[in-house]
Amino acid sequence: MKAPDFDYLRPASLAAAVAMLAEHDGEAMPLAGGQSLMPMMNFRVAAPEALIDLADLSELRGIWVESDTIRIGAMTRYAELKADAKVQKHIPLFSLALPHIAHDAIRNRGTIGGSLALADPAAEMPAMMLALNANIEVEGPDGIRMLSADDFFLGMFETALDGELIKAIHIPVATSEQRFGFHELTQRHGDYALAGVAIVQTSNRYRTAFFGVADRATRVPELEVALEQQDDITSVLAHLDSVDFTDDLKANYKTRQRLAGVALKRALKGMTA
């Protein structure tokens, strides 16, 4: 199939892009990497009246270390993140996870902001933002605001964006007391995860985010507390009962719960500084 007809807009500035989005009043969609949006349009899952191509917006690109935070422009591509020395040094979790995101062709075009705005529940990036306690900087007609990752993802393909564009992502730089874990289970390497987890341990505190298992990337606070209390793994996994696991053609909810437990155990075993 082919995408339905749409208007193609290519703003020269972020302000112009925000104005275009407002002008179309919910009937336009930003085009970042397009690695998910274009297939969705071809299958008629998405049918915006207009696409606003963000490719020319250099203000949305770049990686900067700012005191104890690393700031990443929303249009920064996965391949750039994977190769950047600052990211390798300050966000070890990215080094663990980025090789699992699709394939080279996708990583060469896909962007961090595009993934977060789409909020695919099986994507790795939203879960990493939750585990890393990231903040997401967005800009709209009313100006700039900062949203925590915990408040950003609302449901399947649903975020807290309100006529806004993601401008940048702010991630705390890694400290010497932190350890990181990541594992995902897929049918083939590069496929979307049937179940996966990203973990950040700071001293004895945990932030643990699952993906591919529910309607959004999700933390399980009771499970994090059980890890902090060093409960046995059976007791830790019992807290997965609180997750509303997805039941679909690829895996039923019982299978996904079991795979989430396997991913967690493997990620914990492979924790690294």
Mean of the per-residue pLDDT values of the chain:
95
pLDDT at 170: 98
- Cα–Cα separations (whole angstroms), residue 3 to 10, 24, 48: 18, 19, 10
7-53 and 60-172: same fold? Answer: no
The dotted CATH code for 7-53 is 3.30.43.10
pLDDT score, position 140: 97
Is pLDDT above 90 for 106?
Answer: no
Tens-place pLDDT, residues 110-147: 999 999 999 999 999 999 999 999 999 999 999 999 99
For 65-92, the pLDDT digits (tens) are 998 999 999 999 999 999 999 999 999 9
- How would CATH label the architecture of 178-269? 2-Layer Sandwich (3.30)
CATH of domain 60-172: 3.30.465.10
Picking from 167, 228, 183, the residue whose alpha carbon sits closest to that of residue 32 is 167
Residue 20 has a pLDDT of 96
CA distance 237 to 265: 9
Q: Could you give the CA distance from residue 197 to residue 106 in angstroms, rounded to a whole number?
A: 21
- In this prediction, residues 162-179 reach a mean pLDDT of 97
Q: What is the pLDDT of residue 101?
A: 92
- Any idea where the domains of the chain sit in the sequence? 7-53, 60-172, 178-269
Residue 41's pLDDT is: 84
Q: Is the pLDDT of residue 196 over 80?
A: yes
Quote the pLDDT of residue 189. Answer: 87
The pLDDT value recorded for residue 35 is 81
The answer to whether residues 178 and 90 touch, using CB atoms and an 8 Å cutoff, is no
CA distances from 97 to 33, 82, 101, 196, 264 (A): 19, 9, 7, 10, 14
| Residue bearing the bigger pLDDT, 46 or 266 | 266
**HEC secondary structure over the chain:** CCCCCCEEECCCCHHHHHHHHHHCCCCEEEECCCCCHHHHHHCCCCCCCEEEECCCCHHHCCEEEECCEEEEECCCEHHHHHHCHHHHHHCHHHHHHHHHCCCHHHHCCCEHHHHHHHCCCCCHHHHHHHHCCCEEEEEECCEEEEEEHHHHEEECCEECCCCCEEEEEEEECCCCCEEEEEEEECCCCCCCCCEEEEEEEECCEEEEEEECCCCCCEECHHHHHHHHCCCCHHHHHHHHHHCCCCCCCCCCHHHHHHHHHHHHHHHHHCCEC
pTM across the whole model: 0.95
